[in-house]
Copies of this chain bind each other. A is one copy, B any other.
Amino acid sequence: METHQITSTILQIVLILSFAKVLGEVAERLGQPSVLGELVAGVLLGASVLGWIKTSDSITLLAELGVILLLFEIGLESDIGDFLKVGACATAVAVTGVAGPFAAGYGICLLLGLNHTVSIFVGATLTATSIGITARTLKDLGASRSREAQIIIGAAVADDIIGLVILAIITGIAQGTGMTLWPAVRTSLLAVILLAGAILASIPIAPYVLKIVNRLRTRGMLIVSAFGFCLLMAYFADRLHLATIVGAFAAGLVLARTEDQARIQVRIKPLADIFVPIFFVSLGLTVDISALNPLNPAARSTIVFVALIATVAVLFKILSGYVIPRMPVSRAVIGIGMVPRGEVGLIFASIGLSRGIITQDLYAALLAVIFITTFITPPLLKAAISKKMQTSVHQHVPSST
């Protein structure tokens, strides 16, 4: 890397952080979570508006570190027991949140005259929730330790595991080898067992390791060890074909049970403060708003298609929140929290694209649907949480009114 390239990347980081913070503040003042401002900052800096920033390997890495730190932080302030308690609920939400959008997407495509295989790919693209946006919005709203948050995050982890199975199925279809359900299920089960094993093994070991770490003389041992463990678990999850953030979250859960939890949390925060916005601005960077210009007649039929699929994608994820049995939680918050789709959906779509099953236009339309689910979540979630808080004030503190 030439010195020139490094300094131009440094300038890009300055631009990303300034735009993120200014537009994040504007979003807050407009009563929205600041993450929405960061997404818009990315759109503005990206190719379709200002064109000031082109994503590079380095920016992509910093963004990935951002979302890893976000989930690590959330894990760090969570209790693993709480997640196990809501495990059944979370699984139910995940399963319905995969089945509903898949069936609806598949059905609509068939009705619109698309063939069976294409319809399967569109349906599959709508299945996997991408937890980044929701996790961040809940954090912005101070609700990341709520019961709803636990169910959403648990469901997102389950989603990621189900995603492994779906990936195997659609890869089989794309390669014409047919569905190979059993090996896929085996891979997923193995991933779950190994990840759970890593967590269970780390919980008793971590305090001893930290005791040694705290005895060492070199500066910054605690933060480097914690961050290193987080990255190692992220890498491990990736090797199991799970998302890196699932590993980072697991690392957070493990360290949350140690005596050093508070000290790690204080030290991780400035890192997260800097890197997390880079992730959300990067998400915005990839949006090409010109593709959905309503003044362009060619785009109009695409817009109708996108609107239809997006509606289905949003509604059927929201519905997944309502499978939860009677429990003092807001089903709307949970359903909305499951709405955002992200890279997993894109991976499914791009497998279809590379095999010629999905056309370039259809791919662009699915990309637009994913962005809509991303942008719509922060305001919807904010509204649902405000409503929930009003209701619970009326329910629990009737004397104060």
Q: Which residues of A line the B interface, CB within 8 A?
A: 1, 3, 5-7, 9-11, 13-14, 17-18, 20-21, 24-25, 28-29, 34, 56-58, 60-61, 64-65, 68, 140, 216-221, 223-225, 227-228, 231-232, 234-235, 238-239, 244, 267-274, 277
Contact between A224 and B34, CB atoms less than 8 A apart: no
Q: Which of B13, B21, B216, B274 contacts A271 (CB 8 A)?
A: B274
CB closest residue in chain B, given A270: B267
Contact between A61 and B231, CB atoms less than 8 A apart: no
Contact between A1 and B220, CB atoms less than 8 A apart: no
Given A10-B244, A277-B224, decide whether A218 and B268 contact each other with a Cβ distance below 8 A.
no
Contact between B5 and A57, CB atoms less than 8 A apart: yes
* CA of A271 to CA of B269, assembled, Å: 10
Q: Which of B58, B220, B268 contacts A61 (CB 8 A)?
A: B58
Contact between B57 and A232, CB atoms less than 8 A apart: no
Contact between B7 and A220, CB atoms less than 8 A apart: no
Q: Which of B25, B60, B273 contacts A216 (CB 8 A)?
A: B25
* CA of A274 to CA of B225, assembled, Å: 9
Number of copies: 2
* Other 19 A-B pairs with CB < 8 A, given A25-B216, A270-B271: A1-B56, A1-B60, A6-B64, A7-B235, A10-B64, A10-B244, A11-B232, A11-B235, A13-B228, A21-B224, A21-B228, A24-B218, A25-B221, A57-B57, A223-B270, A227-B274, A267-B269, A270-B270, A271-B271
Q: Which residues of B contact A13 (CB under 8 A)?
A: 228, 231
Q: Tell me the minimal C-beta distance from A160 to chain B in angstroms.
A: 14
* CA of A224 to CA of B281, assembled, Å: 14
* CA of A5 to CA of B60, assembled, Å: 10
Contact between A14 and B228, CB atoms less than 8 A apart: yes
In order of increasing CB-CB distance, the 10 nearest A-B pairs are A220-B273, A267-B270, A1-B57, A7-B238, A1-B60, A58-B61, A223-B270, A24-B218, A17-B228, A34-B218
